[in-house]
Amino acid sequence: MMKPRIRILPLAATGVLAAALAFPISAFAKDLPRVTTSASTAAAATPAATSAVTPPRAEKRPHSYTHHGITIEDPYDWLYDKSYPVIDDEDVLDYVKAENAYFEANMAAQADLTEALFTEIRARIKEDDSTVPQRRGEYLYWSEFEEGAQYRKHYRKPVAGGEAQLLIDENALAEGLEYFRLGATSISQNGRFLAYATDTNGSERYTARIKDLATGEHLPDEIPNLRGGLTWVANDTALVYGPSTEEWRTLEARLHVIGTPPESDVTLYKEDDQAFGVSAGLSAQEDWLVISTGDHETSEVRLVRADNPTGEQILVRPRKKGVEYSVDVRDGEIFVLANDDHINFRLAKASLTAPGDWQTVLEGSNEFYLTGFELYKDFFVTEGRLNGLDQIQLRDYAKPLEAKPITFPEASYSAGLSNNPEYDQTVLRLSYQSMVTPGSVYDYDTKTGGLTLLKQQEIPSGYDASQYVTERLTIEARDGTMIPVSIVMRKDRADILKAAGIEGAGPLHLYAYGAYGIAIPPGFSTTRLSLLDRGFAYAIAHIRGGDDLGRRWYLQGKLFARTNTFNDFVDAGRGLIAKGYTAEGKVTASGGSAGGELMGAIINQDPAQYGAIVAHVPFVDVLNTMLNEKLPLTPGEWPEWGNPITDKAAFAYILSYSPYDQVAAKAYPPMLVTAGLNDPRVTYWEPAKWVAKLRELKTDDNLLLLKTNMGAGHGGQSGRWNSLKETAEEYAFILWQMGMADKK
């Protein structure tokens, strides 16, 4: 609930299709991807019989298009309602509803299993949980869940003592709504006002309100159609925000003066390039407004005084294709993180009078991948990865080359700076977890180097870390590249499998994402325990397309190297089979958004490897989406995937792997596919068209289900229990299809 300090990260570290921070299989939520099973019979690799219910069959309607002399037939194009974002085509809605009915009819037989899984998963969640209070100014801020509640309450109280003050009750705001999500929040510098934004249908078009914390009343101000954050400026008399265009693009930084109608809001900066996105935040000392714009490979930053946001702006350095940079300001000096002379970024400084003259502070390194930095009064912190593992380093302004690393005891882990909102800070809040260590919150004393554990994720139903073992191994991909794989399992896995009557290698769930330079850390998951306790191994493949091993690792999985991502995943699975961790047909896999694209590509390439696949909001109609510049995110995605409109080679390459276009007449594994009718990131028709084409061409009798959330978007259902119920459905599907659903 505190106003966060500006986070200095390369722009491409947050890809738009990748921003599925809450979709049910996300590796970026508190828990890693969720899949569980019950190792109970020797028939683990035997898929369940096909449904007796007749699946929907989408009508084929003639449609084709031609680019670069290549004609593509697309008979399911009609599932794309051309009035989008309004979806009112009755034929489209009837088909989506028919698929939902088919999903419900098939899953009805698994209702008891689903409920049992939900009960088990929920028992690992501390219902009356709260965050560790953190200081900002004269107050301590925290949030908490009450027992049974779907949503959080947010509080503060004076540091000097006194009663807690309720700032926001998400449960009250969500009452009567099918969907609710709290977006950007920002406390004014004087502590009096709270600005917050809410989304009530999953479309990611937020509405912002302002609450006077002195009176408890809301101001008349209401800012509709918000996508960007909320930043207080002009001595708490105004807010900077990012409005949404009709295409869900954020091309402006706009100023709203409190007490004036939104129609009179002033545009501080407007981006002409439709592929770029605009964001804004405050510098470390909160005296400069930092306005950033960029796509997945190029960026540009402007500075303007926060107390005079309509004043003269300073352009730090004009954009140059392929150069990404981000900045912060301290005592009149600009600090710059940039990849202009090294692929893994350098840290530089410049003056406000010569902002484009960057003088190196820390040189780029082939070994150390510099991912971010934060400035404080007496020191600064650099974050990065060394050999794929997170690093946090304190540095002195006078001796920046002398790093003081914060060390952790485990060989494989995920760690980073947490919320540290004050510039004059001597104790840093950190987050830490590993595949066997639950999420932990530490305070680090910058003077003594001492680490104090403040809180570790509590698992009410019990957890004994000593019963689990984690490994990090490498598997050779087909081009000779060594792919890191993090894996966790029970120490007594062999005994569990034997007791369950499973002969030979046991089941294994494999997860990866592989896009936008987003690394998947070896973190902890409470839901994953259901999988491990039944004899599964769980593996994360750190494939190219993410930046787990540095920026080059990311570049080797984008544009014309995109198929490396898919090959890495397939080869990682085959390597785990060869090493005896599992067997063909006993590998289950899942992914969402761009990770859903991964799922589509791997089943086209090697369907026999997998016993069950779950694809959440999958980006599978890649070619059509990249050809449609009217869609919300398409122009901004061209640097990631290529522009098939202007580039014949890009058209041919995307066509060669686009999961929808490459569906063929062959056997596919059992699949559960999800979609959100209001999803602006991966539009509903991508999974709908994909499932329709799979139904037409696949030669097997394996179950194929499509579930579309009619009142939600990219993140699935909102509320912690609703989300867990969807997870339980997912688990039940996998258990069923792996022939392991008889014991709950």
- Give the residue numbers marked as catalytic: 593, 679, 714
Tokens matching residue 349: 């400084």
Residues 6+ apart with CB under 8 A from 535: 39, 490, 493, 496, 497, 500, 502, 506, 507
Rg (CA), the chain: 25
Tokens matching residue 415: 């760690």
Cβ–Cβ contacts within 10 Å for residue 342, how many?
Answer: 15
The DSSP element (H or E) to which 294 belongs, if any, is: strand 288-294
739: left (phi over 0), alpha (psi -120 to 50) or beta: left
User: Quick one: how far is CA 115 from the chain centroid?
Assistant: 27
Torsion angle of C-alpha atoms 480, 482, 483, 487, degrees rounded to 10: 130
Query: How many angstroms separate the Cα of 436 from the Cα of each of 177, 538, 543, 696?
Result: 37, 12, 21, 43
Cβ–Cβ contacts within 10 Å for residue 225, how many?
Answer: 15
172: left (phi over 0), alpha (psi -120 to 50) or beta: alpha
Q: Which segments within 401-439 are labelled E, that is strand?
A: 404-405, 414-417, 427-433
Q: What are phi and psi of 172, to 5 degrees?
A: -70, -40
Residues 6+ apart with CB under 8 A from 572: 475, 477, 483, 485, 510, 512, 539, 541, 543
Tell me which residue of 711, 599, 704 sits closest to 659, measured CA to CA. Answer: 599
Q: Does the bond joining 224 to the residue before it have cis omega, within 30 degrees of 0?
A: no
Q: How far apart are CA 4 and CA 302, in angstroms?
A: 19
On whether the CB atoms of residues 435 and 465 are closer than 8 A, the answer is no
Q: How far apart are CA 219 and CA 259, in angstroms?
A: 8
Q: 466-501 burial string, b = 16+ CB within 10 Å, else e? A: eebebebbebebeeebebbbbbbbbeebeebbeebe
Query: How many angstroms separate the Cα of 464 from the Cα of each of 273, 488, 526?
Result: 53, 14, 12
Q: How far apart are CA 352 and CA 332, in angstroms?
A: 6
Total residue count of the chain as it appears in this document? 744
